[in-house]
Amino acid sequence: MAAEEKSAVPVIAIDGPSASGKGTIALGVAGMLGFHYLDSGALYRLVALAALQAGVGFDDADALAGLAEALDARFDHGDIILSGQEVTDAIRSEVCSMGASRVAVLPGVRRALLARQQAFRQTPGLVAEGRDMGTVVFPDAILKVYLTASAEVRAERRYKQLKEKGIDANMRTLLRELHERDQRDSARSAAPLQMAVDARELDSSGRSVDEVVRQVLDWYRQKVADSHR
């Protein structure tokens, strides 16, 4: 697809801190619109998992950039494949979560993954979620949403997710780790977590998934209507 054709494909960018509900909301919106879906965080988790498998330290910037460049990964109907192995659950482990946050601060890794993320922009449209979808990857997105929730609500969500998978978790530890990750994501020099100047902020703390999805859809439809005036 030519560059001008790609730029005409609508993108809804949903950014926000860890466990704010971005994935659930983005999937819901994409399903309602029939759009493609990009979980950008999965790519950084895949780099972290590839590093663990290769014995590469999370402080080895050059080696990590090389892994990101050569990442043999694909998304297949909800399954995530790395080097021929299904790793959908493996990349959701806490060690991969923390590893993803560490590799994501590296400019070389971010550069290596940028084109891969932008390649998800295909007709009829894309819902992309992450930390810098609206600020760096898709700055021309028709709608930018910054999804937030209190740290306590986010820690509780992560706790429930882990318990449902049979993984032991401690609320106090999860809350501390969320605060640390927020700080790391916001303070990094490469594409820090921040709300785009033209984004709409949406706090999901006291809202149901359906309510949040409906709000995003309303904003999108209004943007489309405004663009046709």
For residue 60, give the 3-state DSSP assignment.
coil
Instruction: Name the one residue in this structure whose structure tokens are 């940028």.
Output: 114
- What is residue 169's predicted lDDT score, i.e. its pLDDT? 84
- What is residue 78's predicted lDDT score, i.e. its pLDDT? 73
pLDDT, tens digit, 9 for 90 and up, residues 28-83: 999 999 999 999 989 999 999 999 999 999 999 999 999 999 998 888 777 899 99
CA neighbours within 13 Å on the CB side: how many for 26? 29
pLDDT, tens digit, 9 for 90 and up, residues 178-225: 888 888 778 777 777 889 999 999 999 989 999 999 999 999 999 999
Residues 22 and 131: beta-carbon distance below 8 Å: no
- What is residue 12's predicted lDDT score, i.e. its pLDDT? 98
Residue 170, both tokens: 């401690």
- What is residue 229's predicted lDDT score, i.e. its pLDDT? 79
Residue 209, both tokens: 């998934």
Q: Which residues of 207-217 are buried (b: 16+ CB within 10 A; e: fewer)?
A: eeeeebbebbb
Query: Amino acid identity, residue 3?
Result: A
Residues 148 and 20: beta-carbon distance below 8 Å: yes
Which pLDDT band, with edges at 50, 70 and 90, does 5 fall under? Answer: low
Instruction: Tell me the range of 28-42, 89-103, 154-168 where mean pLDDT is highest.
Output: 28-42
Rounded to whole angstroms, how far apart are CA atoms 10 and 173?
39
**pTM, entire model:** 0.85
- Could you give the angle at which helices 171-187 and 151-164 cross, rounded to 10 degrees? 120
Q: Domain 3-227 is in which class?
A: alpha beta
The helix or strand, by DSSP H or E, that contains position 52, with its residue range, turns out to be helix 40-54
pLDDT mean over 81-101: 89
- Considering the chain, what is the average pLDDT of its residues? 90
Q: Is the pLDDT of residue 7 over 80?
A: no
Q: Rg of the Cα trace of the chain?
A: 17
Q: Is the pLDDT of residue 2 over 80?
A: no
Residues 201 and 178: beta-carbon distance below 8 Å: no
The rounded percent of the chain whose pLDDT value lies above 90 is: 64
Rounded to whole angstroms, how far apart are CA atoms 101 and 1?
32
